[in-house]
Amino acid sequence: MTDTLTGWAATTKDAPLVQMQLPLPQWNEHSVDMDISHCGMCGSDIHTLDEDWGPTAFPCVVGHEIVGIVTRVGDKVANIKVGDRGGVGPLAYSCQECDTCLEGHQNCCERVFVGTYNGNYPNGDKSFGGYADKWRGDGRWVFKVPDNMSSADASSFFCAGVTSYAPLKKFNVNEKSVVGVLGLGKLLFACHRGLGHFGVLFAKAMGATVIGLSHNDNKKETAKELGCDDYINTHNEFDLARYRKKFTHILCTGTGSDFQWSTYYNLLHINGHFMNVAAPEWKFPEIIPIQFITQQISISGSAAGSPATMQEMINFAAEKEIKPWITTYKMSDVNTAISDLRAGKPRFRFVLEN
């Protein structure tokens, strides 16, 4: 047994990743070891490498859409076994004891938030992500990959997929729903490139009528290819009028700084839901309460998913045979992949492959 990983690490801001050996977290009864086969790439990786969200603890191995073969499990791990394909998302540890965890919302743990990378476990060990050959972490945040799903496809679901799925499921999207999806592949550095495409794929699989939304016509053909039933240019008054008060849900995965609440308020039916998973670097405009009171509209946020939601999501994706749009790169070509990610080339997710 080895207690080190070989990863592609950032040693400082604005420098290429370099291969190095780093220590795995200390083993305990809840631990799982995996040999990594694939790791999806996320805009969050770039934010961390660039220290956009605060100081990064270098050396840092990013990557939080991990799939690999389980090679060892701790005595208290019951949800996954040696030989299974396991998946890991953006969270690697929660306390499991606070009221929020006990209520099944471990992704919003009140006491401890440990990201899959650039974090520290309670004992002080650093968390390292999936741009590597091995991963070790808490088995309660490892999920079994269904047999009928490829590892490359599966890896892209464990951040972008669950972030789009969770609010759609929470607010009961079904065959009676009309869902607008805002953000079909833009805004890399709001870390949401690809969420919109998952939003379309999941909402369609749930039986909904799905409408693509964007501020111009550039993504109209892409929306059609993804399976959207229609498309709205939100700067076209005729388009907006066609769907006035028709949407039961709007999933916002990304938007520009010209965003105005009134545009989407006017699209939502009474008791409609505006579900936001976007975290732009600019602030949303002020809300005018009367607009939402008179239509009884709800505004909500969603953060990845609990362990139960994560496993449910990947099982649903496999059952419905949802196929993400991915491009694979060799793990050794990670710096090329990062350059292409920065250039906004994903259509819609990049995956690294060992």
CATH 3.40.50.720 residue window(s) in the chain: 161-301
CATH topology of domain 161-301: Rossmann fold (3.40.50)
Q: What does the pLDDT read at residue 1?
A: 63
CATH architecture, range 4-145+324-353: Alpha-Beta Complex (3.90)
CB neighbour list of residue 132: distance below 8 Å, 6 or more residues apart = 5, 6, 7, 8, 36, 39, 61, 63
Quote the pLDDT of residue 187. Answer: 45
Contact 66, 135 (CB under 8 A): yes
The answer, yes or no, to whether residue 31 has pLDDT greater than 90, is yes
Kindly list the distances between the CA atom of residue 284 and the CA atoms of 1, 103, 252, 343, in Å, as whole numbers in the listed order: 50, 30, 12, 25
Answer whether residue 173 shows pLDDT above 80: yes
As a whole number, mean pLDDT of residues 303-320 equals 96
Instruction: Tell whether the model's pLDDT for residue 197 goes beyond 80.
Output: yes
Q: Please tell me the predicted confidence (pLDDT) of residue 189.
A: 42
- Give the per-residue pLDDT at 291: 82
Average pLDDT along the chain: 93
Residue 162 amino acid letter: V
Question: What is the SS3 string spanning 266-299?
Answer: CCEEEEEEEEECCCCCCCCCCCCHHHHHHHCCEE
User: pLDDT (tens digit, 9 = 90+) per residue, 119-136?
Assistant: 999 999 999 999 999 999
Which pLDDT band, with edges at 50, 70 and 90, does 19 fall under?
very high
Going by pLDDT thresholds of 50, 70 and 90, the confidence category of residue 280 is confident
Segment 147-159, tens digit of pLDDT: 999 999 999 999 9
Is residue 80 scored above 70 in pLDDT? yes
